[in-house]
Protein backbone atom coordinates (compact mmCIF):
# COMPACT_ATOMS: atom_id res chain seq x y z
CA UNK A 1 0.00 0.00 0.00
CA UNK A 2 0.92 3.67 -0.12
CA UNK A 3 3.66 4.64 2.29
CA UNK A 4 5.52 7.89 2.75
CA UNK A 5 9.18 7.95 3.73
CA UNK A 6 9.25 11.09 5.86
CA UNK A 7 13.07 11.10 5.86
CA UNK A 8 12.93 12.12 2.19
CA UNK A 9 12.17 15.72 1.13
CA UNK A 10 8.80 16.66 -0.38
CA UNK A 11 9.33 18.09 -3.86
CA UNK A 12 6.38 20.17 -5.08
CA UNK A 13 5.46 19.80 -8.74
CA UNK A 14 3.80 22.32 -11.03
CA UNK A 15 0.41 21.04 -12.15
CA UNK A 16 -1.96 22.44 -14.78
CA UNK A 17 -5.68 21.63 -14.61
CA UNK A 18 -7.84 21.47 -17.74
CA UNK A 19 -11.60 21.03 -17.57
CA UNK A 20 -13.13 19.75 -20.79
CA UNK A 21 -16.70 21.01 -21.06
CA UNK A 22 -19.02 22.91 -23.37
CA UNK A 23 -21.09 24.20 -20.46
CA UNK A 24 -18.87 24.90 -17.44
CA UNK A 25 -17.25 28.17 -16.48
CA UNK A 26 -14.59 28.76 -13.81
CA UNK A 27 -17.43 29.67 -11.46
CA UNK A 28 -19.44 26.48 -12.12
CA UNK A 29 -16.53 24.07 -12.57
CA UNK A 30 -16.86 22.07 -9.36
CA UNK A 31 -14.62 19.18 -10.50
CA UNK A 32 -11.78 21.39 -11.71
CA UNK A 33 -12.10 23.56 -8.61
CA UNK A 34 -12.01 20.52 -6.36
CA UNK A 35 -8.90 19.23 -8.13
CA UNK A 36 -7.17 22.62 -7.94
CA UNK A 37 -7.91 22.83 -4.19
CA UNK A 38 -6.52 19.34 -3.59
CA UNK A 39 -3.36 20.10 -5.58
CA UNK A 40 -2.60 23.20 -3.53
CA UNK A 41 -3.55 21.50 -0.23
CA UNK A 42 -1.05 18.72 -1.02
CA UNK A 43 1.73 21.31 -1.33
CA UNK A 44 1.99 21.47 -5.12
CA UNK A 45 1.74 24.54 -7.35
CA UNK A 46 -1.30 25.15 -9.52
CA UNK A 47 0.63 26.24 -12.62
CA UNK A 48 -2.35 26.91 -14.91
CA UNK A 49 -6.06 26.31 -15.20
CA UNK A 50 -8.24 26.27 -18.29
CA UNK A 51 -11.68 25.27 -19.51
CA UNK A 52 -11.65 23.87 -23.03
CA UNK A 53 -14.67 22.92 -25.17
CA UNK A 54 -15.32 19.29 -26.11
CA UNK A 55 -13.30 19.68 -29.30
CA UNK A 56 -10.16 17.70 -30.23
CA UNK A 57 -8.38 20.72 -31.75
CA UNK A 58 -8.99 22.95 -28.70
CA UNK A 59 -7.92 20.25 -26.25
CA UNK A 60 -4.86 19.31 -28.30
CA UNK A 61 -3.86 22.96 -28.69
CA UNK A 62 -3.95 23.56 -24.95
CA UNK A 63 -2.09 20.30 -24.26
CA UNK A 64 0.66 21.22 -26.73
CA UNK A 65 1.02 24.69 -25.23
CA UNK A 66 1.31 23.31 -21.71
CA UNK A 67 3.62 20.45 -22.73
CA UNK A 68 5.99 23.04 -24.25
CA UNK A 69 5.90 25.17 -21.09
CA UNK A 70 8.95 24.40 -18.90
CA UNK A 71 7.00 25.65 -15.86
CA UNK A 72 4.46 22.80 -16.11
CA UNK A 73 5.43 19.29 -14.96
CA UNK A 74 2.01 17.62 -14.94
CA UNK A 75 -1.31 18.13 -16.73
CA UNK A 76 -4.52 16.72 -15.27
CA UNK A 77 -7.75 17.04 -17.21
CA UNK A 78 -11.30 16.37 -16.11
CA UNK A 79 -14.13 15.53 -18.47
CA UNK A 80 -14.62 14.17 -21.94
CA UNK A 81 -13.51 10.60 -21.16
CA UNK A 82 -16.88 8.89 -21.68
CA UNK A 83 -18.26 7.20 -24.77
CA UNK A 84 -20.69 9.78 -26.18
CA UNK A 85 -20.09 11.70 -29.37
CA UNK A 86 -18.78 14.80 -27.59
CA UNK A 87 -16.35 12.83 -25.39
CA UNK A 88 -13.07 13.35 -27.25
CA UNK A 89 -10.43 13.87 -24.57
CA UNK A 90 -8.72 10.48 -25.16
CA UNK A 91 -8.58 11.19 -28.89
CA UNK A 92 -6.87 14.54 -28.18
CA UNK A 93 -4.41 12.89 -25.79
CA UNK A 94 -3.53 10.30 -28.45
CA UNK A 95 -2.31 13.16 -30.68
CA UNK A 96 0.34 14.22 -28.15
CA UNK A 97 1.30 11.19 -26.05
CA UNK A 98 4.67 9.57 -26.62
CA UNK A 99 4.18 6.83 -24.04
CA UNK A 100 1.03 5.59 -22.36
CA UNK A 101 0.88 4.70 -18.68
CA UNK A 102 -1.57 1.81 -19.06
CA UNK A 103 -1.73 1.05 -15.35
CA UNK A 104 -3.32 4.41 -14.54
CA UNK A 105 -6.57 3.76 -16.39
CA UNK A 106 -6.64 0.17 -15.19
CA UNK A 107 -6.13 1.16 -11.55
CA UNK A 108 -8.59 4.04 -11.81
CA UNK A 109 -11.33 1.73 -13.10
CA UNK A 110 -10.54 -0.91 -10.47
CA UNK A 111 -10.87 1.64 -7.66
CA UNK A 112 -13.94 3.21 -9.26
CA UNK A 113 -15.60 -0.22 -9.58
CA UNK A 114 -15.53 -0.51 -5.80
CA UNK A 115 -17.66 2.65 -5.59
CA UNK A 116 -19.90 2.69 -8.69
CA UNK A 117 -19.83 -0.90 -9.84
CA UNK A 118 -19.98 -1.79 -13.51
CA UNK A 119 -20.72 1.82 -14.52
CA UNK A 120 -16.95 2.35 -14.40
CA UNK A 121 -16.68 0.52 -17.73
CA UNK A 122 -17.87 3.74 -19.40
CA UNK A 123 -14.69 5.57 -18.34
CA UNK A 124 -11.79 5.95 -20.74
CA UNK A 125 -9.49 7.50 -18.11
CA UNK A 126 -5.89 7.37 -19.29
CA UNK A 127 -2.40 8.70 -18.69
CA UNK A 128 0.92 9.07 -20.43
CA UNK A 129 4.01 11.15 -21.04
CA UNK A 130 4.74 13.75 -23.72
CA UNK A 131 8.08 15.60 -23.99
CA UNK A 132 8.81 15.08 -20.30
CA UNK A 133 5.36 16.11 -19.05
CA UNK A 134 2.96 13.73 -17.34
CA UNK A 135 -0.64 13.81 -18.58
CA UNK A 136 -3.66 12.34 -16.76
CA UNK A 137 -7.23 12.33 -18.09
CA UNK A 138 -9.95 11.87 -15.46
CA UNK A 139 -13.72 11.74 -15.92
CA UNK A 140 -15.55 14.99 -15.19
CA UNK A 141 -17.49 14.08 -12.06
CA UNK A 142 -16.37 15.27 -8.63
CA UNK A 143 -16.38 11.65 -7.46
CA UNK A 144 -14.02 10.65 -10.26
CA UNK A 145 -11.70 13.56 -9.42
CA UNK A 146 -11.64 12.47 -5.79
CA UNK A 147 -10.94 8.86 -6.78
CA UNK A 148 -8.17 9.81 -9.20
CA UNK A 149 -6.47 12.32 -6.92
CA UNK A 150 -7.05 10.85 -3.43
CA UNK A 151 -6.42 7.22 -4.35
CA UNK A 152 -3.69 7.50 -7.02
CA UNK A 153 -2.20 10.85 -7.95
CA UNK A 154 -1.59 12.32 -4.50
CA UNK A 155 0.67 9.33 -3.85
CA UNK A 156 2.42 9.06 -7.19
CA UNK A 157 3.09 12.82 -7.28
CA UNK A 158 4.68 12.76 -3.80
CA UNK A 159 8.46 12.39 -3.91
CA UNK A 160 8.36 10.62 -0.52
CA UNK A 161 6.10 7.80 -1.71
CA UNK A 162 7.71 4.37 -1.52
CA UNK A 163 8.60 2.08 -3.10
CA UNK A 164 8.52 4.42 -6.13
CA UNK A 165 6.76 7.48 -7.54
CA UNK A 166 6.44 9.55 -10.72
CA UNK A 167 8.37 12.51 -9.27
CA UNK A 168 11.64 10.64 -8.95
CA UNK A 169 11.42 9.71 -12.65
CA UNK A 170 10.96 13.32 -13.83
CA UNK A 171 14.67 14.02 -14.42
CA UNK A 172 14.80 11.02 -16.78
CA UNK A 173 11.62 11.66 -18.78
CA UNK A 174 13.48 13.71 -21.41
CA UNK A 175 16.42 11.33 -21.93
CA UNK A 176 15.32 10.50 -25.46
CA UNK A 177 14.93 14.12 -26.54
CA UNK A 178 17.71 16.01 -28.31
CA UNK A 179 19.55 18.44 -26.04
CA UNK A 180 18.30 21.99 -26.38
CA UNK A 181 20.75 24.73 -27.18
CA UNK A 182 19.41 27.66 -25.16
- Round to whole Å and give the CA distance between 98 and 33: 28
Q: What is the pLDDT of residues 57-92, one digit of tens each?
A: 999 999 999 999 999 999 999 999 999 999 999 999
C-alpha distance from residue 122 to each of 12, 54, 89 (Å): 33, 17, 14
Tell whether the model's pLDDT for residue 132 goes beyond 60.
yes
| CATH fold group of domain 11-167 | Molybdenum Cofactor Biosythetic Enzyme; Chain A (3.40.980)
CB atoms within 10 A of CB 182: 3
Report the mean per-residue pLDDT for the chain: 94
Cα-trace Rg, the chain: 16
Tell whether the model's pLDDT for residue 181 goes beyond 60.
no
3-state SS assignment for residue 65: helix
- CA-closest candidate to residue 104, choices 62, 135, 146: 135
- Round to whole Å and give the CA distance between 29 and 64: 22
Domain ranges of the chain: 11-167
User: What percent of the chain has pLDDT above 90?
Assistant: 90
What pLDDT score was predicted for residue 174?
A: 82
Amino acid sequence: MSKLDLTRPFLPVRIAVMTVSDTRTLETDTSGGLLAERIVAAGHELAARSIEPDDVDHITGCLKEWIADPDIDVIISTGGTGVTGRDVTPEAYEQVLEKRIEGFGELFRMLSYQKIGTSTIQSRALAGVARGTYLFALPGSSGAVKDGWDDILIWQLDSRHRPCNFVELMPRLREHLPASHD
